[in-house]
Structure 1
């Protein structure tokens, strides 16, 4: 089984390869990161590590047996016991339950390692797979939103004694 690892400096080459290999796949359902993201990847990676060190975000990579990155699962805007969850899974790893497993793992880390009590997420209405993953992980719809000009839904999951628990 892959391992969810906290982002480190040495993940940069495999993470860049993951983003390049999956760029078109991701851009089919979410806004493209743009050429500048790839041109300034090393600078961006260092900035993410600084945010993580400050405790503002927790970035994770889903690492396969060979050390290749199969996905990303992140907690951003960490404050007051809550954070926003975001994730992306490689095209070659999609459709095998890996996203649901990784999101559930992150829920456990959010509670046990980071002391969070609420996770939020959002996805657009056109993207059924993330909606299914969030539902299987125990998230519930909390409202409507707009994501890059497209209609979407917001979700939340309470962690621990005050919520439905991890993994739902």
Structure 2
């Protein structure tokens, strides 16, 4: 079973490989990151780690046990006053197995026990039916707010996190 791991410096090559391998797949449902994202990735990864060290974000990768390959990214961004924004993406070859849903549930536990978060926000492009489905399956509800993601219409969500199960 894949493992959700907190982003580390040694994840950089696998994250870049994941992003490159899935670029066309992601662009079908979310705006493309652009060429500069890939050519300038090493300093970008370092910047993510700096944000994580500062406590403003918590980045995670879903790693295949057998190969160490990154199958997904699950991020908590803009941490403030007990809330954060969830963003995620899953490799095309890893879809349809419930991995995104499981990883989001795993993040809920980390939010409560490690990060002290009580609520999460999320946004998904209107055309991104898969992400919207994962958000609904994991208890997020639509906020009704008008959301624009890189110039595209989107949907806003929120999820209040209860206490850790006993």
Q: Which TM-score bucket, shorter chain as reference? A: over 0.9
Runs (4 or more) in structure 1 with deviation over 3 Å come to none
| TM-score calculated relative to the size of structure 1 | 0.93
Report the counterpart of residue 157 of structure 1 in structure 2.
159
User: After superposition, where does 1:67-146 map in structure 2 within 5 Å?
Assistant: 67-144=68-145, 145-146=147-148
Q: Deviations over 1:46-86 (max 9, x none)?
A: 00000000000000000001100000000000000000000
**CA RMSD, 1 decimal:** 1.3
Partner SS for 1:160: coil
Q: For the residues of structure 1 that align with 2:131 and 2:20, how far apart are their CA atoms?
A: 21
| TM-score calculated relative to the size of structure 2 | 0.94
Unaligned runs of 5+ in 1: none
Partner SS for 1:33: coil
Task: Work out whether 1:57 is the aligned partner of 2:79.
Answer: no
